[in-house]
């Protein structure tokens, strides 16, 4: 079967660092995306990993280990506007079908 697991909710403090984990079991792998989704809005692209290792983009970094079926999204210097859901998504082999996790709702408190 195909499965993507993420924690349901996390809470962190403004200015802190938070790590959101994602584990996946999919029939084929062609890359992993992280999206941010504010309530009632469409997801927006944050990061893409296809090779093992860390990808850094400003306050956001994403890590991938294909052998472990594991990724994380790291958010630094948290701001109140980072309160949102974060979706982990895997593209299967062939590249046209994306499987989404249920998302992690992050609450940033002052």
Partner 1 sequence: DGGITQSPKYLFRKEGQNVTLSCEQNLNHDAMYWYRQDPGQGLRLIYYSQIVNDFQKGDIAEGYSVSREKKESFPLTVTSAQKNPTAFYLCASIGQGDQPQHFGDGTRLSIL
Give me the residues that bind partner 1 (CB under 8 A), please: 4, 8, 30-31, 33, 35, 40-45, 48, 50, 87, 89, 91, 94-103, 105
| Residue 15 Cβ vs partner 1, minimum distance, rounded to whole Å | 27
Q: How far is the CB of 51 from partner 1 (least distance, A)?
A: 12
Q: How far is the CB of 54 from partner 1 (least distance, A)?
A: 18
Q: Is 24 exposed, middle or buried (0-12, 13-18, 19+ CB in 10 A)?
A: buried
Integer Rg of the chain from CA: 13
Residue 65, classed as helix, strand or coil, is: strand
The least distance separating partner 1 from the CB of residue 70, rounded to whole angstroms, comes to: 18
Closest CA to 110 of 84, 86, 85, 83: 83
Nearer to partner 1, 8 or 67 (CB): 8
80 SS3 class: helix
- Is the Cβ of residue 42 or residue 110 nearer to partner 1 in the bound state? 42
The DSSP symbol for 81 reads: G
- Cβ contacts of residue 42 below 8 Å, gap of 6+? none
**Between 9 and 77, whose beta carbon lies closer to partner 1?**
9
Is 11 or 13 the residue whose CB approaches partner 1 more closely? 11
């Amino acid at each position: 079967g195909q499965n993507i697991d993420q924690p349901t909710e996390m809470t962190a403090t403004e200015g802190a660092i938070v790590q959101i984990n994602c584990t996946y079991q999919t029939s084929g792998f062609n890359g992993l995306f992280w999206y941010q989704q504010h309530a009632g809005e469409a997801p927006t692209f944050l990061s893409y990993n296809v090779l093992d290792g860390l990808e850094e983009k400003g306050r956001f970094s994403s890590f991938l280990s294909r052998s472990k079926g594991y990724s994380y999204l790291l958010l630094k210097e948290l701001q109140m506007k980072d309160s949102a859901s974060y979706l982990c998504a895997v593209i299967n082999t062939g590249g046209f079908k994306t499987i989404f996790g249920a998302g992690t709702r992050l609450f940033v408190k002052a």
